[in-house]
Amino acid sequence: MTSNTPNLTESHSAIRARYDAIVARGLKLDMTRGKPAPEQLDLAAGLLETVNSHDFKAADGTDTRNYGGLEGLPEARALMATILNAPAADVLIGGNASLQLMFDAMVRCHLFPLPGSTAAWGKADTVRFLCPVPGYDRHFAITEHLGYEMVTVPMTGHGPDMDVIEALVANDASVKGIWVIPTYNNPTGESVNAETAGRLAAMKTAAPDFRIFWDDAYAVHHLGDDRDIVPSILELCRAAGNPDRAFVFGSTSKITHAGAGLSAFASSPANIAWTKNTLSKQTIGPDKISQIRHVRLLKDAAGIEAHMAKHAAILKPKFDVVLEVLGAELDGTHLATWTSPKGGYFISLDTKPGFARRVVALADAAGVKLTAAGATYPHGKDPRDSNIRLAPSYPGLGDLRLATEVVALCVKLAWLEEQ
Ligand code: PMP
């Protein structure tokens, strides 16, 4: 037996009996998406009370009910600048979803030449886009929707593999960009370190209009005091002589109300001017009432910090339960590995190659819905059929314990079935 040979102390029949007993309970548990739990939404209940029919003016007296303010209110830009690690003057406020900003940004690149280029991406026969894996399914969906070829790049534990990226971008001008989730990646939980960020900013790209889509969805979503702090990509790009390389996105979806938050975009002055040129045809301005609601509730970086500590107090015990059960059930079995993130919304579980889809199907039959196997890869296809994204935020602690036990049992059962 090598050190990696699967090793189960329970018999097949004992595991099967535990699984069947759970199936018989007719559970309905859901660990599919990174949705905040109702108690987390309650933390921002004040959002609905910070504005009323007598009190709706911005700091400079602007009537937030009326048209205008394409860039966002100054106080909202200042607030979101602290999350995006950018100067407020280089921040635009969007609607409720950063995903929409990302989609729009990519469509703009598809339709209109970027600063530094004479042709829109969509004019090229082939556009390639780098997709670090495992990654976020909705990034891949946007890329696929525009007909771009997705080139996968492995993750290293401190962001995407820069050796692979540098080789891909150096001589191929059809490689137009890369998705990066710099802080607490969805789903692996890892963060980009200073070296990776510096190399992304400084690398030589054949495409003059290469863009990093830097989706900092979890910039302030720490679970404890041991935190990952990622450097400002905009500053690094500027210092490296590539000032227009990064598009930075973020939102308060996992800070306040996921369906009614505030999104923001930051980039170089040239990219902001380029973006505003199209945006001004698209809208007269974003929802300023939502902006003052957020500013009044969160106030500033210290307000965000205090608010996020309350989220961590709810989320940390949930992550701990999942990790505890995975450890108790699977440690030493050599059937799976999993991440133990310092923040974000996910735990990433890797089964032995070839088992993820079966595990997800077995869990589904036992009443536990998991993110579809393969979802963390372009086109929903994990070539190793190994990665499963676990989302601990929504279920209560009891349900989470049970759901994770089901996952672990299914990992064992899937392997035993093959023996
Ligand atoms: N980016 C990442 C990496 C995410 O995980 C999510 C939510 N699952 C989003 C963006 C969505 O953000 P928003 O609600 O602002 O569209």
3-state secondary structure 357-408: HHHHHHHHHCCEEECCCCCCCHHHCCCCCCEEEECCCCCCHHHHHHHHHHHH
Share of the chain above pLDDT 90, in %: 97
* 79 residue type, one letter: L
Q: Do residues 91 and 265 lie in contact, with contact meaning Cβ atoms separated by under 8 Å?
A: yes
* Cβ neighbours for 161, distance < 8 A, ≥ 6 positions apart: 132, 153, 154, 155
Q: Decide if pLDDT at 198 tops 60.
A: yes
Q: Decide if pLDDT at 72 tops 60.
A: yes
Q: Is 99 in the pocket of ligand 1 (CB under 6 A)?
A: yes
The verdict on residue 333 lying in a domain is: yes
Q: Which atom of ligand 1 is nearest to the CA of 136?
A: 3
**Other C-beta atoms within 10 Å of 405: how many?**
19
Q: Is 217 in the pocket of ligand 1 (CB under 6 A)?
A: yes
* Cβ neighbours for 378, distance < 8 A, ≥ 6 positions apart: 131, 133, 140, 143, 144, 150, 152
List, for residues 158-171, the tens digit of each pLDDT value: 999 999 999 999 99
Cis, bond preceding 317 (omega within 30 deg of 0): no
CATH code for position 358: 3.90.1150.10
Tell me the average pLDDT across 97-120: 97
Q: Is 183 in the pocket of ligand 1 (CB under 6 A)?
A: no
- Count of the separate structural domains present in the chain: 2
Q: Is 263 in the pocket of ligand 1 (CB under 6 A)?
A: yes
- Residue that has been written with the tokens 């990790």 in this structure: 323
The verdict on residue 378 lying in a domain is: yes
Q: Is 378 in the pocket of ligand 1 (CB under 6 A)?
A: no
The verdict on residue 409 lying in a domain is: yes
Q: Is 98 in the pocket of ligand 1 (CB under 6 A)?
A: yes
The verdict on residue 46 lying in a domain is: no
Q: Is 253 in the pocket of ligand 1 (CB under 6 A)?
A: yes
List, for residues 130-139, the tens digit of each pLDDT value: 999 999 999 9
pLDDT at res. 2: 52
- 292 and 360 belong to one structural domain: no
Q: Is 341 in the pocket of ligand 1 (CB under 6 A)?
A: no
pLDDT class of 110 with cuts at 50, 70, 90: very high
Identify the domain boundary among 299, 319, 354: 299
- 219 and 359 belong to one structural domain: no
Q: Which of the two residues, 33 and 345, has the higher pLDDT score?
A: 345
List, for residues 134-156, the tens digit of each pLDDT value: 999 999 999 999 999 999 999 99
Q: Return the best residue to mutate from 33, 80, 99 for the ligand 1 pocket (most ligand atoms within 8 A of CB).
A: 99
Residue range of the domain that includes 331: 12-31+305-417
- 262 and 326 belong to one structural domain: no
Take atom 8 of ligand 1 and give the residue whose Cα is closest. 34
Tell me the average pLDDT across 201-207: 98
Q: Is 186 in the pocket of ligand 1 (CB under 6 A)?
A: yes
Per DSSP, 335 falls in state S
Identify the domain boundary among 299, 315, 341: 299
Q: Which of 2-11, 53-62, 120-129 has the lowest mean pLDDT?
A: 2-11
pLDDT at res. 1: 45
Q: Decide if pLDDT at 415 tops 80.
A: yes
List, for residues 248-284, the tens digit of each pLDDT value: 999 999 999 999 999 999 999 999 999 999 999 999 9
Residue 55 C-alpha to ligand 1 middle, in angstroms? 31
Take atom 11 of ligand 1 and give the residue whose Cα is closest. 99
Q: Taking all residues of the chain, what is their mean pLDDT, rounded to a whole number?
A: 97
- 336 and 273 belong to one structural domain: no
Per DSSP, 88 falls in state G
Identify the domain boundary among 276, 299, 322: 299
List, for residues 332-374, the tens digit of each pLDDT value: 999 999 999 999 999 999 999 999 999 999 999 999 999 999 9
Compute the distance between CA of residue 224 and CA of residue 184 in angstroms, rounded to an integer. 13
353 burial type by CB count under 10 A (0-12 exposed, 13-18 middle, 19+ buried):
exposed
pLDDT at res. 164: 98
CATH code for position 96: 3.40.640.10
Q: Is 80 in the pocket of ligand 1 (CB under 6 A)?
A: no
Q: Is 312 in the pocket of ligand 1 (CB under 6 A)?
A: no
- 278 and 310 belong to one structural domain: no
Q: Return the best residue to mutate from 102, 184, 214, 215 for the ligand 1 pocket (most ligand atoms within 8 A of CB).
A: 215
Q: Which of 17-31, 152-166, 306-320 has the lowest mean pLDDT?
A: 17-31
List, for residues 275-295, the tens digit of each pLDDT value: 999 999 999 999 999 999 999
pLDDT at res. 37: 97
pLDDT class of 4 with cuts at 50, 70, 90: confident
